[in-house]
Amino acid sequence: MKKRKIWVAGNWKMNHSVGETTQFFESLQSTFSANSSEESSLRTATLENRVSVALFPSMLSLSPAMNCVKGMKTSLSSIHIGSQNTHWETKGAFTGEVSGSQLRDLGVTLSLVGHSERRQYFGETNQTTKIRTESLLAQGFTVIHCIGETKEERLAGQTFSILKAQINEGLPESLTAETGSRLIIAYEPVWAIGTGLTATPEQAEEAHAEVRRLLSVRYGEAQANDMSVLYGGSVTPENFPTLLALPNVDGGLVGGASLKPDSFGKLVQMGCQA
C-alpha cells in the first residue's frame, strides 16, 4: 500500500461543453452503479482517506460539474471539482481572469497552477506560479502545482536544473504542516503531454525522486515525504498501474484519458487499488 495520498486528477483543458459535462457524469455514475467493485473500492479508499479523485473542467462547466457531483448517489459524490487556473488577486480589473473568492462562492476550493500550457501559451512564469500558489494556499485552497521540462531541455541535459528552478523560484518560500498538506506537485514532462509518449518508468522515477529531494531541501524531509507528487503526460489505463507502482509516484494528472467516462473510471479504480 502507498504511504502517501494518491490523486487521480483529470484535466479537461478546453474540452467538453456544459451538455457534454452533464453527460460525462451521468455515464460515469451508471458505470459505477453497474459495477459494485468499482463503487466499493472508491468508497473504502475515500473513507480511509487514501485516494482523492478530482476533475478540472473548463470555467463554464464548473458550476454544472459541482451540481452533478452533489447529486451523485454513489461514492462519486466525493469527486473534487477544481479550476484549471486562478488569479492571485481576489477581485479587480483583470479581464478574462477568475479569482479564488469567485470560485469559493461556487464551492470550488481546488486549483491547478502553472500547467505547462499556461507556461507555453499564456506567459506563466515561475514568478507568477509562486504568487498564485501562495495566494491560493492563504485562501484555503488545495493546489496542484505543475512543473516539468520541455523536450529541448531534456535533450540538453537540463531536466534537473529546470525542476530546481521551478521548485525554488516557483513555489512558496515556506509551508506549515497545514498549508503543506494542501500542496500537491504534478511532474509533467512537456514532451509527454498529449503526445502519446509516456516517460519510461526509469525516467519517471528518476525525476520524481529528484523532485522529492528538492522539496526536502526546501521544506524539510518530513514535509517532503508527506507531499503527493503526481505524474502527468499521456497517462492511460494501460500505463497507469506501472506508474503507480513507482515508489515516488503518488497518482496522475491526466488529460486525454480523463475525457471519457470509461477510461477515467478505470483510472479511478486503479488508483484505489494502488
Catalytic residue list: 115, 188
CB of 121 to ligand PGA, least distance (A): 12
Judged by CB, which is closer to ligand PGA: 10, or 180? Answer: 10
Min CB(112)–ligand PGA separation in Å: 8
With binding defined as CB under 6 A, does residue 11 bind ligand PGA? yes
Answer for the pair 267, 254: CB distance below 8 angstroms, yes or no.
yes
Cα–Cα distance, 232 to 209 (Å, whole number): 15
Q: What is the CA radius of gyration of the chain?
A: 17
Considering only 51, 193, 224, 270, the residue that binds ligand PGA (CB under 6 A) is: 193
Indicate the residue among 175 and 253 with the shorter CB distance to ligand PGA.
253
Beta strands 6-11; 142-147: pairing state: unpaired
> Residue 10 Cβ, how far from ligand PGA at the closest point, in Å?
9
188 sits near ligand PGA (criterion: CB under 6 A): yes
The answer to whether 38 and 269 are in contact (CB under 8 A) is yes
Q: Which is nearer to ligand PGA, 253 or 272 (CB)?
A: 253
CB of 80 to ligand PGA, least distance (A): 16
Segment near ligand PGA (CB under 6 A); pick from 16-24, 41-49, 187-195, 208-216: 187-195
- In the complex with ligand PGA, the residue whose CB is nearer, 156 or 197, is 197
List the interface residues with ligand PGA, window 204-263 (CB under 6 A).
Answer: 232-235, 253-257
**Residue 16, phi then psi, degrees to nearest 5:** 75, 115
Residues forming the site for ligand PGA (CB under 6 A)? 11, 188, 193-194, 232-235, 253-257
